[in-house]
Structure 1
Amino acid sequence: MNPWLIGLLALTALRLAAAALLPVAPDEAYYWIWGRNLQPGYLDHPPMVGLWIAAGTGLLGDNPLGIRLLGPLGLALASVAVARAGDALFPQSRPGKSAALLLNAMPLTNAGAVLMTPDTPLVVFWCLALWAAARLHATGDGRYWLAVGGFAGCALLSKYTAALFGAGLLLWLVADPSARRWWRGAWLYLGGVAAVLLFLPVVAWNASHGWASFAKQGGRAGAGTEFGLRYVWELLGGQLALASPVLFVICALGIGVGVADWARRRSGGVGLLLGLMLPAALVFLWQATGSRVQGNWPAVLYPAACIAAAAFAAPRWQRIGAWIGGGMTLAILLQAAFSPIPLPRSADPTLARLAGWPELAREVEAARAAAGADFVAAEEYGLAAELALHLPREVPVVAISDRWDLFTLPEPPPGRTGLMLRSLRRGEGAPLWPGAVRVGEVLRGRDGVEAERYRLFQVETPPGREPSALLPRPR
């Protein structure tokens, strides 16, 4: 068997093991709720991550591996797509396998392969759309536009950021002389129709819910009102850590050499690669001049950037970058799973996001039973979802906030007494639920290191006064 394929299968097996071993993060637990309440749209994102979780938990149950199953499998498929795309765009040097190796060595990619968030299916379908576009360029077969449109539509069903893939294609079709012929045929437009049809359910859901999701995510776009470089440096520093330093640098150099190569030779393959990166990169940099860009957002840049690095960077630096990135990934996973170094919350994001959820649920259940409360509640959606995932199945879990009005979940019955958790990070303000009475405090942590503290309040379900929902429980 091909050694490269053996390596990919071994890496996928390791990722599946990590997915089974690591605790579920709050955002993952929240998206697990999506998988139990499937809709064409949600306040935060389109529905694809919920569909993936529903498929995984339908096969393996409501556990960490079930929630994350399609992540490692999808990234394996995406790796093959990047390898094939690299070879199609650069048939003489065939850098595809090296590009896939660089992509798989990045801590950011490995986090997306193990933790299930909307970025996971987004990156998978982005890579598949990149492969289809590369095959379109290499073969000249217009039928590949249908695959481009189909995969791009699935990426749009994953996260609105996928619109930047369409912007990249448009730039390529306008700027690259070898691509302009596609305007004269029908296949380009049929591919666009395929993408639009796949995305229409999200549009329909937004139309029937006051355009809630479009308004929320659209409000996050833009560079803010004051120009500055603070967030630009933060963005670049974050990418040095998330992509790993050497890999980030050779990706940036590969893009720079690619721009010079295209300016000199007008190579269609290089033009396509640059077209799919530059709009997104410029949007993120522009936004960072006035507001924070989350570190995971630029993940869509790296499939094409790794192809550019593999095509133009020295093999020696590719190997060094892969070893460093792989070593960083291994260290992060070991810390998340076994915490060999007792780092504080401020220095250990795995402690803040992953640690102590089952233990917290046991402590909360003991407090609920001692108080004789009927249910457990939380204002924070991630905290409520973690409680729903870990508390005993017979204990009702109530989530409190406006976002739950957009779900088709039942409301809690009025007049019941419950126990509500509220993180100390939310400050000293009054809880959302009126009449809450503070009764205690609980701690979440790992091996004696504190991750977070929560106040406990006694509450009563008021009839129709606060948006709330009864969350689904593990089957």
Structure 2
Amino acid sequence: MESPVTSIRAWCGLLLLATMVRLVLGWYLPLSPDEAYYWVWTHAPAAGYLDHPPMVALWIGAGSALFGDGGAGIRWIGTGATALSTVFLARAIQDFRPATQQAPPGGAAAVRGVALLQATLAIGVNAVVMTPDTPLLFFMTVLLWALGRLMVTHRARWWLVAGVALGLAFDSKYTAVLPGAGMAGWLLFHGAGRAWLRRPAPWLAAGLFLLVISPVLWWNATHHWASLLRQGGRVGDWQAGRAMQFVGELVGGQAGLATPGIFLFFAGGMAWMLRNARRVPACGLLLWMVLVPTVVFVVHALGDRVQANWPVILYPMLAVAAAQLAWKWWKGAVVLGAVLCGLIFVQAAFEPLPLSAHTDVALRQMGGWPQLAAQVDAIAMQDDFVTACDYGTASELALYMPQRTVVGIEARWALFNLPHAIRGEGIMVCNPRRTFDPQFFAQVSRVGTLRRHGRIRDAEMLDVYRVRMADTLPDDLQPDIAVLSRPVMGSRE
């Protein structure tokens, strides 16, 4: 029988191997439009952006400063943080084990919980592709570590660490407020939580949380609350007639992102929390942190679609709970998850299956961007600028064409601290399904079609236009033009 120490060492070795594979994939795979868009953010430093808080831009900026603007530079911090998060999660699992339960050794539970989380598709993808979920999930594990320490030691200082960690999670993605609201619910409605409210530590933690998120709130306040309204406005839609469809998509999407076996473990962990929440304060805290976001997502699904990645914020808490289940088939669930992750990345890298871009998300998102940039560069004249009909394509061209002036023309760019003036002629590329505002141009003429092509199959067809900017624009349209990149000195040589 394998000793616990040997088992832990073996799983650490597997985690190290997985991290190395993820680093190689991050270097090899082209960047997605959203990653290129977040890279553009690094050229316009701010305390907030239309789509998300700034943490993803800070991580990308730090990574690219060290290793350049390719996939390795932009993604490596996220991959490293995902590996580091296992340390925080493992300690949280050990601390959250209720003292009254006849649980297996803490090391075994920690290995199980870490392996279950790392084998989900959601974590596997976010360990390679840089998204706001990447720093969000990291800081959520730091938060759980601090709360686990609090449950074990009862030392007030861990509230302060938790307040900072929750603030940094919010600075990554606004959904961090949901488990934070769950923490507040535990403080108000659980006996152990109410006891803490008579002490200053939770109040100081709330103050630290507000201090950490204050730059994001300030940016929103000075930009008409654009980002918070954009994200909060998602709850305003209501299509009750499609409620069953949306709820089914929510459950099915999570079964897919978690992978089926791990999804069952997460469900079992939820049941474990429900059974122990009243008598074990740590279980009650975890349950509140999971229930509040779950209720929000389910209520949203009664009238509108819940994006598959939104509930991923629950996964670290669910992994802590699932780790307490000594079900013998947990290794099978981990292997299935790892195999599914591997198949997805093999498809992304080599396209062995004849899937269309409609079915193959990796092809649709990442295929052929460097080659497209080279095609556009060959068409454009020396002094032409380059633009596109959508922010994702424009950002990709800015990333892969440092030798060109690349321009974004879209209302979102008005909120960026970028140059907002461009004159002359250029090349514009557009997916035929997208439209553009002719007011920006004095002349538009279609000159051909380009093919964005993966290793084997087409990702999309793009119309190509020669355009000349309008000499004058209405005051409300001028800020919608933004220069995303300019030629680097000597890059035209």
Deviation at 1:313, TM superposition (A): 5.2
Assess, with a 3 A threshold, how the Cα gap between structure 1 residues 65 and 473 changes in structure 2: closer, same or farther.
farther
TM-score by length of 1: 0.94
In structure 2, distance between residues paired with 1:323 and 1:178: 39
In structure 2, distance between residues paired with 1:376 and 1:65: 25
User: What SS is found at the alignment partner of 1:455?
Assistant: strand
Deviation at 1:373, TM superposition (A): 6.0
Work out which of the residue numbers 118, 127, 144 in structure 2 matches 1:104.
118
CA-based RMSD: 1.8
Deviation at 1:166, TM superposition (A): 1.0
CA deviations 1:369-423 (Å, max 9, x no partner) are 3xx66111012111001001112x2311010011111111112332x01111111
Say if 2:313 is the partner of 1:306. no
Deviation at 1:257, TM superposition (A): 3.0
User: What SS is found at the alignment partner of 1:312?
Assistant: coil
Work out which of the residue numbers 283, 289, 299 in structure 2 matches 1:276.
289
Aligned to 2:299: 286
Assess, with a 3 A threshold, how the Cα gap between structure 1 residues 430 and 200 changes in structure 2: closer, same or farther.
closer
Tell me if structure 2 keeps the 8 A contact 1:250–1:313.
no
Aligned to 1:457: 465
Q: Mean Cα displacement is larger for which, 10-19 or 54-63? A: 10-19
User: What SS is found at the alignment partner of 1:460?
Assistant: strand
Deviation at 1:470, TM superposition (A): 0.8
Tell me if structure 2 keeps the 8 A contact 1:412–1:461.
no
Tell me if structure 1 keeps the 8 A contact 2:403–2:487.
no
Number of residue equivalences: 467
Aligned ranges for residues 292-441 of structure 1 at < 5 Å? 292-312=305-325, 314-316=327-329, 318-369=330-381, 374-391=384-401, 393-414=402-423, 416-426=424-434, 433-434=440-441, 435-441=443-449
Aligned to 1:131: 145
In structure 2, distance between residues paired with 1:77 and 1:15: 14
CA deviations 1:80-119 (Å, max 9, x no partner) are 1111111001065322221011000011101111100111
User: What SS is found at the alignment partner of 2:304?
Assistant: coil
In structure 2, distance between residues paired with 1:130 and 1:431: 51
In structure 2, distance between residues paired with 1:54 and 1:207: 25
Aligned to 2:223: 209
User: What SS is found at the alignment partner of 1:311?
Assistant: coil
In structure 2, distance between residues paired with 1:248 and 1:270: 19
Deviation at 1:138, TM superposition (A): 1.2
Tell me if structure 2 keeps the 8 A contact 1:62–1:474.
no
Aligned to 1:145: 159
User: What SS is found at the alignment partner of 1:229?
Assistant: helix
Work out which of the residue numbers 38, 41, 45 in structure 2 matches 1:38.
45
Tell me if structure 1 keeps the 8 A contact 2:422–2:483.
no
Tell me if structure 2 keeps the 8 A contact 1:258–1:312.
no
Say if 2:35 is the partner of 1:23. no
Assess, with a 3 A threshold, how the Cα gap between structure 1 residues 257 and 46 changes in structure 2: closer, same or farther.
same
Deviation at 1:19, TM superposition (A): 0.9
Tell me if structure 1 keeps the 8 A contact 2:405–2:487.
no
Assess, with a 3 A threshold, how the Cα gap between structure 1 residues 473 and 374 changes in structure 2: closer, same or farther.
closer
Tell me if structure 1 keeps the 8 A contact 2:389–2:434.
no
Aligned to 1:170: 184
In structure 1, distance between residues paired with 2:65 and 2:76: 10
In structure 1, distance between residues paired with 2:437 and 2:403: 29
Work out which of the residue numbers 17, 42, 61 in structure 2 matches 1:10.
17
User: Aligned letter for 1:275?
Assistant: W
Q: Which runs of 4+ in 1 moved over 4 A?
A: 429-432
In structure 2, distance between residues paired with 1:321 and 1:432: 55
Assess, with a 3 A threshold, how the Cα gap between structure 1 residues 61 and 447 changes in structure 2: closer, same or farther.
closer
Deviation at 1:268, TM superposition (A): 1.3
Aligned ranges for residues 54-69 of structure 1 at < 5 Å? 54-69=61-76
TM-score by length of 2: 0.91
CA deviations 1:401-457 (Å, max 9, x no partner) are 11111111112332x011111112326x76563442222111112234121111111
Aligned to 1:259: 274
In structure 2, distance between residues paired with 1:322 and 1:237: 19
Deviation at 1:222, TM superposition (A): 4.4
Deviation at 1:185, TM superposition (A): 0.7
Deviation at 1:464, TM superposition (A): 3.6
Deviation at 1:254, TM superposition (A): 1.9
Tell me if structure 2 keeps the 8 A contact 1:418–1:458.
yes
In structure 2, distance between residues paired with 1:189 and 1:473: 48
Tell me if structure 2 keeps the 8 A contact 1:150–1:198.
yes
Assess, with a 3 A threshold, how the Cα gap between structure 1 residues 431 and 110 changes in structure 2: closer, same or farther.
farther
Tell me if structure 2 keeps the 8 A contact 1:231–1:293.
yes
Aligned to 1:444: 452
CA deviations 1:339-359 (Å, max 9, x no partner) are 122211122111100100011
User: Aligned letter for 1:180?
Assistant: R
Deviation at 1:210, TM superposition (A): 1.2
Aligned to 1:89: 96
In structure 2, distance between residues paired with 1:149 and 1:129: 8
Tell me if structure 1 keeps the 8 A contact 2:239–2:302.
no
In structure 1, distance between residues paired with 2:482 and 2:429: 15
Deviation at 1:304, TM superposition (A): 1.1
Deviation at 1:282, TM superposition (A): 1.2
User: Aligned letter for 1:444?
Assistant: R
In structure 1, distance between residues paired with 2:237 and 2:394: 32
Tell me if structure 2 keeps the 8 A contact 1:254–1:313.
no
User: What SS is found at the alignment partner of 1:451?
Assistant: strand
User: Aligned letter for 2:418?
Assistant: L
Deviation at 1:225, TM superposition (A): 4.7
